[in-house]
Amino acid sequence: SAPAWSLPTSSVSFTATAVSYIGASVSDAALTATWRTAKASGLLRLTTDTDGLASGVIDLGAVPPANRSEAYDTLTIDVEWIGPTRERITRSASVTLADGPARLQLQLSLTPSTPGTSFAVAATLTSNTDGAALTGVPVTATLRPAPNDTLTCGNATSSCSISSGAPFSPACQLTLPCVGQFLLEACADVT
């Protein structure tokens, strides 16, 4: 078993159990766990305890920076055991590497390209644990100048609040205040 999601630089713990065909736990069984992401992979050799349980930890934070995963990559773990009658038994698990317990996606009523054009914002929030839609969660959308952008319209920051899963609302309208580079950010508290 493995968690449904984990941070891209965390240590991911997983367990595997060796059980015979008649259901008895197999102690001291040698298991091979192979893990991979889009940019890295590794191999762990595990041995089961007296209950037939083996535990492993994959330290994604120890992966060199150039090979580290990003949010919404997938960590795949394949465990192989050669059973008592030399049969090959494999199990796999996937872990979503995410920056939090839920994924927040924004939709715009239109793509603004000129200052003074208003647009509405809607938000979709999805659980990284089970993939369920999280509706009715308050979301704050903020339009702010990009770092290091030299704006002529001052600190042009605006924000509004919406509920996840709700359609576009006239109550949440944002407007590009001037020509420049802006970031649209959103925040939802799903603790």
Q: What is the pLDDT of residues 30-64, one digit of tens each?
A: 999 999 999 999 999 999 999 999 999 999 999 99
Task: For residues 143-150, give the mean pLDDT.
Answer: 82
* 33-61 burial: b if 16+ Cβ within 10 Å, else e: bebebeebeeebebebeeebebebebebe
- Confidence class of residue 151 from pLDDT cuts 50, 70 and 90? low
Question: Tokens at residue 19, please?
Answer: 């059980």
What are the tens digits of pLDDT across the range 91-140?
999 999 999 999 999 999 999 888 988 999 999 999 999 999 999 999 99
Task: For residues 73-98, give the mean pLDDT.
Answer: 94
- Confidence class of residue 152 from pLDDT cuts 50, 70 and 90? low
Domain stops at, among 40, 74, 97:
97
Number of domains in the chain: 2
Residues 111 and 93 in one domain: no
pLDDT score recorded for residue 102: 94
Residues 93 and 106 in one domain: no
pLDDT score recorded for residue 174: 95
Task: For residues 162-184, give the mean pLDDT.
Answer: 92
Question: Tokens at residue 67, please?
Answer: 């090979």
Cα-trace Rg, the chain = 24
Domain stops at, among 40, 65, 97:
97
Domain stops at, among 53, 69, 97:
97
pLDDT score recorded for residue 143: 94
Whether the per-residue pLDDT at 185 is higher than 80: the answer is yes
CATH number at residue 65: 2.60.40.10
Other C-beta atoms closer than 10 Å to the C-beta of 17 total 17
Residues 137 and 93 in one domain: no
pLDDT score recorded for residue 79: 98
- DSSP symbol at 2: -
Residues 84 and 42 in one domain: yes
Residues 72 and 112 in one domain: no
Residues 90 and 121 in one domain: no
Expressed as residue numbers, the domain containing 182 is 102-188
pTM to 2 decimals? 0.77
* Amino acid at the residue 154: G
Residues 87 and 57 in one domain: yes
- Residue-by-residue DSSP string for 46-75: EE--TTSEEEEEEEGGGS-GGG---TTEEE
Q: Please state, in angstroms and as integers, the Cα–Cα distance from residue 25 to each residue in 161, 166, 181, following that order.
A: 54, 50, 61
* Amino acid at the residue 123: A
